[in-house]
Amino acid sequence: MPADAIVATLRVGSLAGVDPDTRLFPFEPVPAECFCAECKAIFTAADGCCECPTCGTISRELGQGRELLLLSLQLA
Q: What is the pTM of this model?
A: 0.72
The fraction of the chain above a pLDDT of 90, given in percent, is 50
Confidence at 2, pLDDT banded by 50, 70, 90: low
Flag whether pLDDT at 20 surpasses 70: yes
Enumerate the domain spans of the chain: 6-75
Tell me, what's the pLDDT at 44? 93
d(CA 4, CA 26): 18
Residue 58: its H or E element = none
